[in-house]
Amino acid sequence: MINNILASYELLASIAVLLIMGPIVYLVGKKSGKAARWLAFLTAAASAALLAHIGIILLDPYAVSLTVTLDPTTWTYSFIYSSQIVPMAALQLNVQLYPFTTSLNQIPWMWNNFDRAIAFPTYQAYSVIPDYPYLVLLSMDPLTSTLRLPSITAGLLADGLSYPIAILISGLGAAVMFFSAFYMKDVESPGSFYGNMLFFIGGMIGVILATTVIEFFIFWEVMLIPSYILVNQFGLTENKSRTALKYFLWTTFGSVIMFVGIFMMGVTLNTFDFQQMTLNLAAAQTTYATYLGTIIPFGATFNQWLSLFLTGLILVIPAILIFIGFAVKMAIFPLHTWLPDTYMEAPMPVVLLLSAAMTKTAAYGIARFLVIYMGPSLQMLQVSLAIIGLITAAYGGIMALTQNNLKKMLAYSSMSQMGYILFGFAMVSVLGVNGSLLHILNHGICMGVWFMVAAIVLKATGTLDFDKLGGLSEKMPAVAAIAVIAGLSVAGVPPLLGFSSEWMIFAGGIMATQYLLTALLIVATAITLGYYLWAVRRIFFGPLKEGLEKVAVPRSLVAPIVVLAAFIIVLGIAPAIATQYFTPIINQILLPWYGYQQILYLLGGL
């Protein structure tokens, strides 16, 4: 209990320290750039350390659980005490304040493998996957109740789905701030640069840990403002204002579309709270299945699948709108046109966060909204989204292969890998979704490595044009080796992290019976391997180009990529270090859906 309370406040502090220290770093930077950059690094490192400790607590199994909830309509508190000693039952004490009544009864309760989360405030109770028998006892029927404005709450939640991505962004934030302390030490307006970087990281973590769709959207906009400032103020060419405006308009367009979708979703489900959405969806499906059982004599399982289809049909329009909003941020084809110009314009540390971290907030949004809450709707769009993902992967890969500039190649590579992640989510299968979540981690770490490698090469040689590079492995062997490791991992070569994530995505496609599309996606991996090996060959091997004889690399710039490369290898050998967080959630949600796809096709779903 003490650990849970401590972790709850650590969750708040992990974001608060970034948002509070942002303005302080800005003011410090007016007096001392050196003090500002190291204060920014210590702030980002502190946030990452807090989240790392939360991850340790999050894996501790519950021995005893006390869940407290409040029904504001009847002012009734429910205290549910459960213990693994009695795994199938729990005691529920209900206390109604006015008129004052109490009741004590035993309810069915089943322990899940990952039935826990860390939340702030601590009085908010979250069960990651509420138990189905317990839902039946709730007697909830949101479809027939009088429509009212959904309640709006706020808090922070680290569960098996949000935590791995939050620690990825936080860890990358700490790494890039350390890297920037050396790489950007001569930047003009250091206070503005490092302060906005902290705000940017804080906004992204807030998106991941939000507990309601409104809170999610607020943090979504919070992370847009500092990223726009960073591109507009610290862009590399005279076109920086135009490029920043293009980036701002494109992402704002996506945000507006997404807001319409999540508002429709909240009104349809009669809540904006993530936890309550789970309850209302389960109650609606139970209501449908019960009703269908009175008119369709094909058994309970068939009726349960049919109820999934009906709930999916109701939410399909909000699902499409939400997807469009996230697709813009992920640079999914054809909504990617902001990406090449923005990546080429922004300084390397900013591009690193845009590619390795910001795009992951949108990928997380697809997992949280479309897979968890709109899975049946996502399944209706399976083929369409899979084709979009395949086109994005292939187009991005081909464009990357044709580039003569490393930074632009990495921009299109980032776009291509978003196609793989979308494809896995679109399969709505256990292996596909788990593979996409693992690929989020793989891509984030590998892009962090490659953009730092690009920054090191640019710092040492003054260029990123392949024609002017070559033979640098003689001057920077460690950098060359790490670049090879990260490139092979992106391409899915064993025993690196990318191999585990990509084969799970491919297996998920086969599980969903999308054999042709999966085969084409496997072929696209050859393009990925091709452009990374070609880039390594042109940068690090061959004869040393004239003028590069005196190239030297500071060890301080190499240290972060060594750490990230270690994660690629360790997680590749033992991917369960990451999957132990999200696999139980995804498995428990998607495993009961076997057979649903056939019902969907029978009813004309695409």
Residue burial 91-115, b: 16+ Cβ < 10 Å; e: rest: ebebeeeeeeeeeeeeeebebeebb
Q: Tens of pLDDT along 193-206?
A: 999 999 999 999 99
Q: What is the mean pLDDT of residues 166-186?
A: 91
Portion of the chain with pLDDT greater than 70, in percent: 79
pLDDT score, position 114: 42
pLDDT score, position 445: 94
Higher pLDDT, 167 or 471: 167
- How far is it, in rounded angstroms, from Cα 89 to Cα 85? 10
pLDDT score, position 166: 92
What count of residues does the chain have?
606
Report CA-CA distances (Å) from 207 to 190, 212, 222, 321, 397. 26, 10, 9, 18, 29
pLDDT score, position 513: 83
Assess whether pLDDT exceeds 70 at residue 302: no
pLDDT score, position 133: 28
Q: What is the pTM of this model?
A: 0.82
With cut-offs at 50, 70 and 90, classify the pLDDT of residue 293: low
3-state helix, strand, coil in the chain (%, to 5): 70, 10, 20
pLDDT score, position 150: 45
Q: Tens of pLDDT along 256-285?
A: 999 999 888 888 887 787 777 777 777 776
Q: What is the mean pLDDT of residues 71-81?
A: 66
pLDDT score, position 70: 60
Report CA-CA distances (Å) from 250 to 256, 330, 411, 600. 10, 12, 17, 34
Which of 415-419, 459-463, 467-471: highest mean pLDDT?
415-419
Residue burial 147-168, b: 16+ Cβ < 10 Å; e: rest: eeebeebebbbbbbbbbbbbbb
Higher pLDDT, 244 or 135: 244
91 φ, ψ to 5°?
Answer: -95, 135
* Angle, vertex CA 523, rays to CA 520 and CA 524, nearest 5: 90
3-state SS assignment for residue 195:
helix
pLDDT score, position 594: 46
pLDDT score, position 167: 92
Q: What is the mean pLDDT of residues 562-586?
A: 87
Q: What is the mean pLDDT of residues 522-551?
A: 87
With cut-offs at 50, 70 and 90, classify the pLDDT of residue 382: confident
DSSP per residue, 457-490: HHHHHS--BGGG---GGGT-HHHHHHHHHHHHHH
Assess whether pLDDT exceeds 80 at residue 587: no
pLDDT score, position 209: 87
Q: What is the mean pLDDT of residues 434-443?
A: 93
Please name the residues in contact with 396: beta carbons below 8 A apart, sequence gap of 6 or more.
333, 336, 412, 413, 414, 415, 416, 417, 418, 419
Q: Tens of pLDDT along 196-237?
A: 999 999 999 999 988 888 888 889 988 999 999 999 988 888
Assess whether pLDDT exceeds 80 at residue 325: yes
Q: What is the mean pLDDT of residues 285-300?
A: 65
pLDDT score, position 136: 25
